[in-house]
């Protein structure tokens, strides 16, 4: 097929009625076709997307290009920065001869620019703190995060019900653990009367799951002040969409916490945002870098939840873009929902790699211009195969694309630059204040102390009553012994004998003295 025919297909396939962003220029036979621009229609970017490619192939810079162009078109962006190399989007790029050469080949000038940035954090990274309460998760999502079985999940649901009925706020993980301990010990009888008996083994298993989550740092995520997802949809004073960067560099080895956080954010957005239908551009775009971290350790229940939200969240005007090394990292059920596919180079070092490349090639529209399977291993840095849904929902022709350079810095910000942004952030002032109001933990501690105090008083009263009873019994025993002795026949006989002898003795003495006195008195006469 001729070059002219190819250019006609590109022009027709990538011309849209509504607003669009320029990704780069199409290539044919290894040459960049100047002004054969490959664009992405804003209207279709809530159909989600995939950016895949081997390490060093340029996929992170592709993410940066799309994010900064969305921001320039008043679309707020949320970036999950796992490697820590996306902060440069906050300052303009420096010009470079290679950048100028690339843009000359594409047929468009290079204009350095930056995007308004806010840093967010769920760990020790600087930025506005992201938190959510246990109550906001709800029993179903909380159970799925902990990978509980049906019996354990039903117990969690009853615990949530008990806390609602008793006015016990479940704000953080220590609230949940304290409630579980209470219904197993001090409040066991009270709980049993209201909701039935709970298996101590199941409650113990739930507690261990919570401790496992805590060991990955989840206690810093659960709590107040809860992050309001509407703050992700802000514009700056110039009408640019705010780029919220969640720095996750210290979470690479804690995939469960990463999955928990991502799922909660998506669930909160879905529950909070109103239905939008088909709008001219996304209300929010979310980029998940190193997306395999989300899927690698996710349980089946968690995967089902992720798939459901991705299928439904489009109607809220939200686009989700997964950035990963291989399309196989994303489950087929999710991959089938993606409208935008940008594939950078793949490496064929093993038989498994070659199989993955063959499968990746089958994800793209058929074309007469490229041998896709072969081209996937030959793409240069900053080159990619691109297809997107047009405004009618039809995939555009596959285009081997020379990507434009990011207008912002292709490097990380210094610590001082990050500190300046964090210091001027309105979100940091709003969310970084520690709040620890009275919740289930404190309320139940008071109940336990009261219970223990009452139990102590009851025990003292029992001991006093027991001592009194013992003394009374002892006195009765002594009296009874004396009476027995006194009333005993032998005792009475002995008593009479002793009394008689005593009397005789006394009277005998008395008689002797009287006789002597009489004798003496007679002798006087």
Strand 49-52, strand 117-121: pairing: unpaired
CA distance 294 to 60: 17
Given this model, what pLDDT does residue 453 score?
58
CA distance 169 to 162: 10
Given this model, what pLDDT does residue 459 score?
61
pLDDT over threshold 70, residue 255:
no
47-77 tens-digit pLDDT: 999 999 988 888 999 999 999 999 999 999 9
Given this model, what pLDDT does residue 518 score?
46
Given this model, what pLDDT does residue 101 score?
93
- Residue 412 is classified by DSSP as P
More confident residue, 495 or 123: 123
What is the pLDDT averaged over residues 368-378?
Answer: 88
State the average pLDDT for the chain.
82
Given this model, what pLDDT does residue 511 score?
46
**57 touches 379 (CB < 8 A):** yes
391-413 tens-digit pLDDT: 988 999 999 999 999 999 998 88
Distance set, CA 7 to CA 4, 26, 396 (Å): 5, 8, 13
Other CB atoms within 10 Å distance of the CB of residue 328:
17
Confidence label for 450 from pLDDT (cuts 50, 70 and 90): low
Confidence label for 514 from pLDDT (cuts 50, 70 and 90): very low
139-176 tens-digit pLDDT: 888 887 888 888 899 999 999 988 888 888 888 888 88
**117 touches 421 (CB < 8 A):** yes
pLDDT over threshold 60, residue 521:
no
- What domains are defined for the chain? 3-131+224-431 (3.40.50.300)
Q: Give bridge partners of residue 383 from the DSSP assignment.
A: 402
pLDDT over threshold 80, residue 439:
no
Tokens of 88: 């440069």
pLDDT over threshold 50, residue 520:
no
pLDDT over threshold 70, residue 447:
no
Quote the radius of gyration of the chain (alpha carbons, Å): 42
Strands of 190-256, DSSP E: 243-247
Q: What percent of the chain has pLDDT over 70?
A: 81
- Residue 435 is classified by DSSP as B
215-228 tens-digit pLDDT: 877 777 888 888 88
294-353 tens-digit pLDDT: 776 666 666 777 788 888 888 899 999 999 888 888 888 888 888 999 999 988 777 777
What is the pLDDT averaged over residues 422-428?
Answer: 90
């Amino acid at each position: 097929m001729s070059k002219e025919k190819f250019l006609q297909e590109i022009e027709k396939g990538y011309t849209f009625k509504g607003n669009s962003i320029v990704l780069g220029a199409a290539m044919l036979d290894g040459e960049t076709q100047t002004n054969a621009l490959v664009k992405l229609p804003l209207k279709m970017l809530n159909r989600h997307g995939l950016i895949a490619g081997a390490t060093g192939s340029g996929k992170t810079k592709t993410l940066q290009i799309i994010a900064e162009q969305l921001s320039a078109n008043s679309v707020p962006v949320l970036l999950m920065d796992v490697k820590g190399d996306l902060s440069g989007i906050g300052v303009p790029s420096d010009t470079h001869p290679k950048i100028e050469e690339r843009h000359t080949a594409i047929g468009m000038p290079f204009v350095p620019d930056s995007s308004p940035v806010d840093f967010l954090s769920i760990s020790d990274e600087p930025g506005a703190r992201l938190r959510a309460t246990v109550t906001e998760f709800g029993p179903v999502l909380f159970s799925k995060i902990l990978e509980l079985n049906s019996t354990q999940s039903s117990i969690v649901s009853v615990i949530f019900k008990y806390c609602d009925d008793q006015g016990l706020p479940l704000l953080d993980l220590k609230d949940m653990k304290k409630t579980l301990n209470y219904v197993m010990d001090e409040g066991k009888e009270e709980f049993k009367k209201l909701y039935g008996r709970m298996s101590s083994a199941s409650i113990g298993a739930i507690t261990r799951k919570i401790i496992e989550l805590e060991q990955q740092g989840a206690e810093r995520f659960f709590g107040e002040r809860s992050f309001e997802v509407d703050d992700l949809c802000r514009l700056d004073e110039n009408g640019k969409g705010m780029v919220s960067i969640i720095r996750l560099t210290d979470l690479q080895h804690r995939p469960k916490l990463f999955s928990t956080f991502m799922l909660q954010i998506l669930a909160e957005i879905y529950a909070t945002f109103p239905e939008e239908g088909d709008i001219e551009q996304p209300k929010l775009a979310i980029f998940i870098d190193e997306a395999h971290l989300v899927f690698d350790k996710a349980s089946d229940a968690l995967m089902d939840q992720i798939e459901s939200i991705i299928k439904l969240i489009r109607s809220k005007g939200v686009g989700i873009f997964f950035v990963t090394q291989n399309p196989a990292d994303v489950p087929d059920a999710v991959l089938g929902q993606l409208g935008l596919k940008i594939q950078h180079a793949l490496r064929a070092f093993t038989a498994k790699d070659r199989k993955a490349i063959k499968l990746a090639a089958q994800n793209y529209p058929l074309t007469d211009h490229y041998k896709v399977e072969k081209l996937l291993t030959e793409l240069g840095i900053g080159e990619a195969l691109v297809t997107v849904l047009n405004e009618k929902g039809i995939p555009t022709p596959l285009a081997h694309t020379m990507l434009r350079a990011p207008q912002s810095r292709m490097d990380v910000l210094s610590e001082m630059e990050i500190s300046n942004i964090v210091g001027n952030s309105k979100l940091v002032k709003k969310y970084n204040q520690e709040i620890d109001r009275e919740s289930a933990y404190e309320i139940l501690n008071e109940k336990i102390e009261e219970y223990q105090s009452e139990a102590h008083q009851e025990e003292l009263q029992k001991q006093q009553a027991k001592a009194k009873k013992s003394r009374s019994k002892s006195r009765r025993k002594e009296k009874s012994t004396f009476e027995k002795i006194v009333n005993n026949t032998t005792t009475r006989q002995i008593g009479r004998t002793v009394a008689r002898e005593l009397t005789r003795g006394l009277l005998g003495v008395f008689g002797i003295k009287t006789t002597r006195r009489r004798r003496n008195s007679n002798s006087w006469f």
